[in-house]
Chain A
Amino acid sequence: MRAIALLTLREMLRRRTTVAIALAVLLVVSLSGWAFHALVSSLGPGGEAKLFASEQLVFVMLVFSGILALAASFLSAAAVAPELESGVALSLLARPLTRLRYILGKWIGLAALITGFSLVTGGAEFLTVFGVVGYTPPHPALALLALTAEAILLMTLSLFLSTRLPTITSAIISMVLFFLAWMAGVAGTIGNELHSGTLVRIGEVAQLVVPTNGLWQAAEYFLEPSSVLVLGQSLGRTAENPFIVLVPQTAAFYGWAVLWLLAFLLLSIWSMRRREL
């Protein structure tokens, strides 16, 4: 299991895809640094700039979560499907290695990669904002944790799909579900505004089917400065929309997310054990 985890990690670090994604994220970080610099230049340093910066940061982190989701979906699929298709897995699985350990090894390697990736690039973004604007979100570590969890959820889904489907197919299905969950979040918000119970319900159900957007909202709550929360709550609003979240995620939701992840991990193991090479 450890051998497979290390092998997976090494493969991901050696492949050009990973390097390309890392470069793309660095580009996002430096562009956002520039944008924050422009913000400070036009508003001058002070409370107003920080308020705008906080909302701009939420937007940047939304983009960041999208890139992380994309990376998680593709890298995860690329760590399993090509190996099964090409025949590399034939010689690995003829070793004293159970399918269970094979999948767990893959999962651990990928989770380590995604966590490292998310902490380094997310941390770089927070540091950039702090350096340029002097602003730090209230719970940067918790926000990154939620974003990492979101990516790991998607990675697990993609891992399951790639035990049976080709890389691209697995990755695209995961991404479609990720966007579906995000759109469901928007639909829920619109439903709230229009007082349409049906829309709200569609939003809620879709959010549970793929809990990635719920984790995004958890991350977003950790990023909102208290002034925004106080203002929003004083207006009597709790609305969830993709850009402003005023209430923390419930413990029940976190529990559901953990169950969801375990379910897809178990499905991956089951699928792998049944798979013939």
Chain B
Amino acid sequence: MPERLSFMDYEDPAIRTESLSKRYGRKAALSDLTMTVPRGEVFGFLGPNGAGKTTAVKLLLGLARPTAGEGLVLGEPLGAVSARQHIGYLPELFRYQDWLTAQEVLEAHGALLHLSRAARRTEAESALSVVGLADRAKDRVGAFSKGMQQRLGLAVALIGSPQMVVLDEPTSALDPVGRHDVREIIRHLKQRGATIFLNSHLLSEVELVCDRVAVLDRGRVAAEGSLEELLAATGAQIEVEGLTAEALSDLRRFGEPRLRGTALEVEGIRRVEVPELVAALCASGARVYAVELRRATLEERFLGLLGGH
């Protein structure tokens, strides 16, 4: 369960928001976002297009102002300049100065982070090699493909050893190799202890790297928790013989039992209840041959959560 501490409780998470909301005219882009992201976590922010993910990120970075609610990022109020010293950001609509070379873009960002001239150069070079653009360092960004520009954007987000990296749909323009590279970069950042806030509408992307996710739908959080929690077992399939009608109806305390021949399905049973279920079956004299837990894929959960449409 997502912890619901009061806003003044201090345990220094990377992000904490309280009823954060944003309206554009009459349109509620984000409603009542309350969440906590501990430091060092890879946090996935999932939701279909238009759910409010980008809006949330802009509020966290101080690029837009909330219409209600408040929040802390790296211990500072939303939009604080000092917090941004430690945040790397790849926007969803990324664009970099097309009249600069890749190296120059990164050095300019280094200058904005007040890095020394030497540090700017070395950080730029290493960031470029991390994203696989080392051999294009001296090329103008204007000549880059969309995918290369997104790689450059990743490099920009890595400059200055950030404590938190915010990636808004980081693989939207990347090929499968690029997607794999992004996962590697995220794993690497996590090892370094950085917090990663990953916006995505792609379940597969989030599933592979995130410790915890929030599912956003039409500006509201529909579910939040670890993947383990969100993908909790939703049923068990059992091969059983000799089950009496009495025993079958007794199984209702675990979930919704359905028997077809020897195939018994118990819909909605939790993992911890499975041994008890098996014990009950055996006690009733039935013979159990196989037990299999059915887990929902994130895809199914996602569609289930958004089922109200």
Q: Which label, helix, strand, loop or mixed, suits the secondary structure of the A interface?
A: helix
Question: What residues on A are CB-neighbors of B95 within 8 Å?
Answer: 86-88, 90
- Number of B residues with CB within 8 Å of any CB on chain A: 29
B156: Cβ under 8 A from any A Cβ: yes
* Interface range on chain A (Cβ under 8 Å from partner): 20 to 34
Given the interface pairs A87-B91, A94-B87, A96-B82, the reply to whether A276 lies near B108 with Cβ below 8 Å is no
Question: What residues on A are CB-neighbors of B89 within 8 Å?
Answer: 90-91, 94
Closest to B111 in A: A3
Closest to B59 in A: A276
Q: How far is the CB of A275 from chain B (nearest CB, A)?
A: 9
Q: CA A143 – CA B141 in complex, angstroms?
A: 41
Q: Are B99 and A94 in contact (CB under 8 A)?
A: no
Q: Are A93 and B63 in contact (CB under 8 A)?
A: yes
Question: What residues on B are CB-neighbors of A98 within 8 Å?
Answer: 81
B129: Cβ under 8 A from any A Cβ: no
Question: What residues on A are CB-neighbors of B82 within 8 Å?
Answer: 96
Interface residues in B84-118 by Cβ distance below 8 A to A read 84-85, 87, 89-91, 93-97, 99-100, 108-109, 111-114
Question: What residues on A are CB-neighbors of B58 within 8 Å?
Answer: 276-277
Given the interface pairs A11-B99, A91-B153, A276-B65, the reply to whether A96 lies near B81 with Cβ below 8 Å is yes
Closest to A276 in B: B64
B266: Cβ under 8 A from any A Cβ: no
Question: What residues on B are CB-neighbors of A11 within 8 Å?
Answer: 97, 99
Q: Are A94 and B96 in contact (CB under 8 A)?
A: no
Given the interface pairs A14-B99, A87-B95, the reply to whether A3 lies near B112 with Cβ below 8 Å is yes
Given the interface pairs A15-B99, A96-B113, the reply to whether A90 lies near B93 with Cβ below 8 Å is yes
Question: What residues on B are CB-neighbors of A93 within 8 Å?
Answer: 63
Q: Are B156 and A91 in contact (CB under 8 A)?
A: yes
Q: Lowest 5 CB-CB distances: which A-B pairs, in order?
A: A3-B111, A87-B95, A95-B112, A276-B64, A94-B89
* A6-B111, A10-B100, A97-B84 known, 18 other contacts, Cβ within 8 Å: A3-B111, A7-B97, A7-B108, A11-B97, A11-B99, A14-B99, A15-B99, A87-B93, A87-B94, A90-B63, A90-B89, A91-B89, A91-B109, A94-B87, A95-B113, A96-B84, A96-B85, A97-B81
